[in-house]
Copies of this chain bind each other. A is one copy, B any other.
Amino acid sequence: MKVQIVKDILSANEQIAQENRRLFDEKGVFVLNIMAAPGAGKTSLIERTIEPLRGRLRIGVIEGDVASSIDADRIARLGIPAVQINTGGACHLDANMVCVALPRLPLDETDLLFIENVGNLICPTNFALGEHLKVIVASSPEGDDKPYKYPGMFSVVDVLVLNKVDLLPLLQFDLDYFRRGVEALNPDVAFFPMSCKTGEGVQEWIDWLVERCRAG
């Protein structure tokens, strides 16, 4: 009986996610679900992506956090439409939260929508939001063992950004060990080493994203 309840919740989420996806496709909005541990640099990645695409693609952002509007405020300061979802304790976004937030965005004038999930390497894995791409932002100070410890999320993502590579010389981070862990779980993932602080690696990500976004 308990299993049945869990199954119903999951399939309800899947159903709403599919409705979100239909709306995105109808409006021609390409959608990314950005996931990461707390403080890995999800908002910094979005900020870094906004600047080079200004005038090329129209961007919108949904920010998910347990509390505060810190992240949506950062995005709004760039003149980009941003909606903050506060989950009030919940450890992930779900499709219904996104569905409720959508009317507050100008979807007819949006080409690319970032949904920044709650900082959590586990729970968001199982909740589709209607996105076209799942992105994980790992960061080098978290250590090279994260694919081995959090295989669920590393397995399901389409894109892996390794942020804060400017700190690598100061850390004991074995990039080969990290990559072997990722490849064993997800050999086809698109991998972008990057520093959102210095800008290193950002251009490769932008070029790839523009191509994927145009392919739909």
Q: Which residues of A contact B (CB under 8 A)?
A: 2, 5, 37-39, 65-68, 70, 89, 91, 118-123, 139, 141-143, 145-146, 148-152, 164, 167, 170
Complex: A141 Cα to B68 Cα, angstroms: 19
With a cutoff of 8 Å between Cβ atoms, the chain B residues found around residue A150 in the complex are: 38, 66-67, 119
- Name the residue of chain B whose CB is nearest to the CB of A163: B141
In the complex, the count of this chain's copies comes to 2
- Name the residue of chain B whose CB is nearest to the CB of A9: B2
Complex: A142 Cα to B164 Cα, angstroms: 11
Complex: A144 Cα to B152 Cα, angstroms: 28
Say how far A12's CB is from chain B's closest CB, in angstroms: 13
With a cutoff of 8 Å between Cβ atoms, the chain B residues found around residue A39 in the complex are: 37, 139, 141-143, 146
Sample 16 A-B pairs with CB under 8 A, ordered by A number. A2-B5, A37-B38, A38-B149, A38-B150, A39-B139, A66-B150, A67-B151, A68-B145, A70-B145, A89-B122, A91-B120, A119-B121, A119-B149, A119-B150, A122-B123, A141-B167
A37 touches B119 (CB 8 A): yes
With a cutoff of 8 Å between Cβ atoms, the chain B residues found around residue A65 in the complex are: 149
A67 touches B164 (CB 8 A): no
- Name the residue of chain B whose CB is nearest to the CB of A145: B70
With a cutoff of 8 Å between Cβ atoms, the chain B residues found around residue A68 in the complex are: 145, 148-149
Complex: A39 Cα to B143 Cα, angstroms: 6
Say how far A139's CB is from chain B's closest CB, in angstroms: 7
| Given A37-B37, A141-B167, 4 other A-B residues pairs in contact with their CB atoms under 8 A | A39-B139, A89-B152, A119-B150, A170-B170
B38 touches A142 (CB 8 A): yes
With a cutoff of 8 Å between Cβ atoms, the chain B residues found around residue A146 in the complex are: 38-39
